[in-house]
Amino acid sequence: MRAQTDQISGDTVTDTPERPRRHPLLIRVWGLIRLDYTGIAFGALFFCLSLTPSLLPRDWLFQGLIGGANAAIGYGIGVFISKMLVRFVIGGRRAWLPSRRTLYAVKTGVVGLAIAASVLMLVPAAAWQRQVSAEMGMPGPETSGYFRVLVVAALAGGVCVAVSRVVLGIIKTLARWLIRRWRLSDEMALLIGTAAIVVLLITLINGVLLQGFLAGASRVFQPQNFTTREGVSQPTQPERSGSPASFASWDSLGYQGRNFVGSGPDARELERVNGRPAQEPIRVYAGLQTADTDEQRIAVLLSELERTRAFDRELLVIVPTTGTGWVNPVAARAIELMYNGDTAMVAMQYSYLPSWISFLGDQQRSMESGRMLIDAVQQRWSQRPAQQRPKLVLYGESLGSMAGQAAFAWLPDIADMGFSSVLWVGPPNASPLWKAITDRRDPGTPEVEPRYDGGRTVRFSPATDPAEIARDTAPPWEGTRVLFLQHASDPIVWYSPDLLTARPDWLREPPGRDRTSSMRWYPIVTFWQVGADMTNASSVPAGHGHNYGESVLDGWAAVAPPPDWTAADTERIRASLRESGGPEY
């Protein structure tokens, strides 16, 4: 009886005629469920590491999905290492192999240790999650309920491994065809087959699948754009887009546009809060249905600004929006209350998609739209005599922050274009200006709260007290003020592809205000942990994660305070924000 190894499949086969052959379907099924023992060890290791704490609390379902994905990745790494050892180290050295009994004992031990470690690790994992939850004032999970993580992880990891084996089977089938057709060597056939399938998958994912996903998502979310939230009605004030006097019809503004112009304080409410006569705030907006192209929508916005006499107000605020055209109602109401209605705000929708989808697949679209909006409004503003211009202010939150930064090559451009104040909240890690400033921060300052040029123009702060922001650095904060509000626990700010292979500075340094000190960086694992945190970033209490709540008011008080503004004034506006509440919050 003679034994040989199939180079393509990696299985040992014999030419013994009397051994019954298994059914091909059974072989394929067995190929999907059998496991490599080195892979099991690495899969268990990656699963256990995925249970360590991250930026935000994770319930058992999320943790199970993350753990399963990480376990599958670890399994793949283990299988690759095993194959390389057999191929290049052990090779034909059969004497190096242990006896069959010893091999069975080792395999049994690996499986037993992997299961035991995975189960036992769930106990400290639940404690870590309670610790992270406590940082944010949330209840943590019970240890008993957290054991459900193991079931979800096993299912998710099994699906990932099965899919990868199907792909590997396709590669081997292609390699065998190449060997028969072109008489290639096993190694060359595998190389060509792998390259062909990888290129095909990348093309499908980045091209057909991604574009199909974006198109499908747009069709799913587009119907909401034609609805109106309960309690929101068409404004009658001529200072609002969508009013009977507006060039932008009410029906064309979209769901978020109608929310923006149909809500917020009016002059009577402002007079009640501030105790003096107020102006009707100006809110100008263009939706995707307002005109066919960005250029045409911007033309409508400029006409609206002229119609409402926005350039005669004390403050003109440009707001690049998030994916669906959302404008933070707290930010809008806060600045209008601070200036007693002597304000004008302008915004434009560029997508039907929620921000997380736009962030993953349509970042360039948001940046182009933000740049066009800022350039157009600033150019029209600059055409007025200097003494007749309002203060030019820029606000952006999340993807809107990234879109706004696209208009500037570097910090001096902000002042050169005439902006007096800029407030950027929760900037995504890929934001060009934020990233450049953070990378060039003053030596010795932490990444989570960096300082640049002593804070003369730009500052970073998670602080909720504008007085703390103002005292943050010794040099006076004169001229143009730029402020980034960012939480140490905000995954939108800290998620980066670099997490796959490199530990960032913010995980080398002492933790920020609301990040647990138990968090550690692990290759690959932390990338998936923080990526999963992004899906829950806004669902945590205000002041944590991607929920900035009333700290936007403190940001406004720091970068754009009215003359003689005091801390007592800020608290008065804060009380009004809390009192108003309502569906827009």
Q: Burial code of 57-73, b = ≥16 C-beta within 10 A, e = fewer?
A: bbbbebbbbbbbbbbbb
Phi and psi torsions of 489, nearest 5°: -100, 10
- The mean per-residue pLDDT over the stretch 325-332 comes to 94
Of the candidates 420, 424, 320, 413, which has an alpha carbon nearest to the alpha carbon of residue 374?
A: 320
Q: Which long-range contacts (CB under 8 A, 24 or more apart) does 112-118 make?
A: 113/41, 113/44, 114/40, 114/41, 114/43, 114/44, 115/44, 117/44, 117/48, 118/44, 118/47, 118/48, 118/150, 118/153
Tokens of 349: 């929708």
Contact at 8 Å (CB) between 329 and 402? no
- The mean per-residue pLDDT over the stretch 230-241 comes to 94
Q: Report the range of poorest mean pLDDT among 14-18, 121-125, 574-578.
A: 14-18
Q: Which residue bears the tokens 């069959």?
A: 100
- The mean per-residue pLDDT over the stretch 177-197 comes to 84
Instruction: Find which of 218-232, 340-354, 360-374, 563-577 is predicted with most confidence, using mean pLDDT.
Output: 563-577
Q: 305: which residues sit within 8 A by CB, 6+ positions away?
A: 284, 311, 344, 346, 377, 380
Contact at 8 Å (CB) between 337 and 573? yes
Residue-level pLDDT at 12: 43
Q: Say whether pLDDT at 7 is over 50.
A: no
Residue-level pLDDT at 94: 65
Count the Cβ atoms, other than its own, within 10 Å of residue 569: 16
Residue-level pLDDT at 583: 41
Model's pTM, two decimal places?
Answer: 0.86
pLDDT tens readout for residues 514-526: 999 999 999 999 9
CA distances from 45 to 58, 175, 236, 398 (A): 19, 32, 63, 35
Residue-level pLDDT at 9: 47
Q: How far is CA 81 from the centre of its chain?
A: 33
Q: 462: which residues sit within 8 A by CB, 6+ positions away?
A: 448, 449, 485, 486, 487, 488, 512, 513, 514, 551
Q: Which residue bears the tokens 């590997």?
A: 168
Q: Say whether pLDDT at 584 is over 80.
A: no
What letter would DSSP give residue 156?
H
Q: Say whether pLDDT at 318 is over 50.
A: yes
Residue-level pLDDT at 250: 96
Of the candidates 486, 525, 482, which has an alpha carbon nearest to the alpha carbon of residue 506?
A: 486
CA distance 565 to 567: 7
CA distance 256 to 250: 12
* Angle of helix 148-182 versus helix 60-84 axis, rounded to 10: 40
Contact at 8 Å (CB) between 459 and 483? yes
Tokens of 396: 């952006």
DSSP element (H, E) containing 299 = helix 294-307
pLDDT tens readout for residues 456-470: 889 998 755 555 665
pLDDT tens readout for residues 497-508: 999 999 999 999
pLDDT tens readout for residues 55-89: 999 999 999 999 999 999 999 999 999 888 877 77
Q: Say whether pLDDT at 38 is over 80.
A: yes
DSSP element (H, E) containing 420 = strand 419-425
Q: Which residue bears the tokens 């099924």?
A: 29
DSSP element (H, E) containing 295 = helix 294-307
Of the candidates 380, 390, 383, which has an alpha carbon nearest to the alpha carbon of residue 279?
A: 390
- The mean pLDDT of the chain is 87
Q: Which long-range contacts (CB under 8 A, 24 or more apart) does 578-584 make?
A: 578/550, 580/265, 580/333, 582/231, 582/263, 583/229, 583/230, 583/231, 583/232, 584/259, 584/263, 584/264, 584/329, 584/333
Beta-sheet pairing, 419-425 with 458-461: unpaired
Tokens of 137: 């004032």
Q: Report the range of poorest mean pLDDT among 327-336, 344-353, 432-441, 467-476.
A: 467-476
Q: 216: which residues sit within 8 A by CB, 6+ positions away?
A: none
Of the candidates 342, 343, 240, 350, which has an alpha carbon nearest to the alpha carbon of residue 290?
A: 350
Phi and psi torsions of 549, nearest 5°: 45, -130
Q: Say whether pLDDT at 11 is over 50.
A: no
Q: Which residue has the higher pLDDT, 332 or 354?
A: 332
pLDDT tens readout for residues 424-441: 999 999 999 999 999 999
- The mean per-residue pLDDT over the stretch 527-549 comes to 91
Q: Report the range of poorest mean pLDDT among 8-17, 264-273, 569-578.
A: 8-17
Residue-level pLDDT at 207: 62
Q: Report the range of poorest mean pLDDT among 212-226, 251-265, 324-338, 387-401.
A: 212-226
Q: Which residue has the higher pLDDT, 205 or 195?
A: 195
Residue-level pLDDT at 324: 84
What letter would DSSP give residue 419?
E
